[in-house]
Amino acid sequence: MDADEMLATTRAVRKRLDPDRDVPEHLIRECVSLALQAPAGSNLPRTRFVVVREQRLRAAVAEIYSDIYLHSYRASAGYIGRVEASGTQQRTARSADALERALHEVGTIVIACLDGVRLDGASAFTSASMLGGVLPATWSFMLAARARGLGTCWTTMHLSREKEVAEVLGIPFERVQQVCLTPLAFTRGEKFSPARRPAAEEVIHWDGWDAAKLAAPPLDGIAAPS
């Protein structure tokens, strides 16, 4: 697979995670090693990967995700709007339902964290600088996983109850911020297709902001419930 194909086909995998094939530890180490090649502010990597393999811990994390998903998110305007919509939005909602179930089945859950600082109430500058060190590494981890036949799905839903997950896993909440939770499992089949996305021209603002370009919707109804 060349780089363009990998970038175009690394999907949010929810329905095609295979819980029956164990993910060897050495593959996880390889993905993390590659992830750490990503840029980091001040060349100080603050990204940490909490790899949850023990059944009891996985179940506890999955249960928190499910509780939020089933009892808060599925009743939210964002979810209902998606289900009532058609096409991509509806498929995303249905696929998200599948992930809630899959999280209870897969043998590995990975939580990417920012070590050393929490961003609650931080300035835009601090947030961008600190998250900017974790997000590229996390995406690189997912690309490296894809190159090894492994599927991932970026999620943030559990962050509305981040502290509970921190307690389950012994993550020091006061100085470590969780950023992304993903299942990690071999995929059923390795062929994935490019997704429908806006055309490049719709999002490129040549020589400054162009108000005629594609406008993003307001946040209401999209963010996970808190």
Binding residues (CB under 6 A) for ligand FMN: these are: 11-12, 92, 96, 99, 153-157, 195, 224
Q: Of 25 and 77, which CB lies nearer to ligand FMN in the complex structure? A: 77
Q: Of 10 and 31, which CB lies nearer to ligand FMN in the complex structure? A: 10
Structure tokens at 74: 């599925």
Q: Of 90 and 92, which CB lies nearer to ligand FMN in the complex structure? A: 92
Closest contact distance (angstroms) between CB of 25 and ligand FMN is 26
Closest contact distance (angstroms) between CB of 104 and ligand FMN is 14
Please provide the DSSP assignment of the chain as one string. Answer: --HHHHHHH--B-STTB-TTS---HHHHHHHHHHHTTS--GGG---EEEEEE-SHHHHHHHHHHHHHHHHHTGGGSHHHHHHHHS-THHHHHHHHHHHHHHHTTT-S-EEEEEEES---TT--HHHHHHHHHHHHHHHHHHHHHHHHTTEEB--B-GGGGGHHHHHHHHT--TTTEEEEEEEE-EEBSSS---PPP---HHHH--TTS--TTSPPPPPSTTTSPP-
Closest contact distance (angstroms) between CB of 8 and ligand FMN is 10
Q: Of 76 and 129, which CB lies nearer to ligand FMN in the complex structure? A: 76
Closest contact distance (angstroms) between CB of 196 and ligand FMN is 8
Closest contact distance (angstroms) between CB of 166 and ligand FMN is 17
Q: Of 25 and 222, which CB lies nearer to ligand FMN in the complex structure? A: 222
Closest contact distance (angstroms) between CB of 81 and ligand FMN is 14
Of the candidates 166, 169, 193, the one whose C-alpha atom is nearest the C-alpha of residue 177 is 166
Q: Of 99 and 114, which CB lies nearer to ligand FMN in the complex structure? A: 99
- List C-alpha distances in Å: 43 to 161, 189, 221: 31, 37, 37
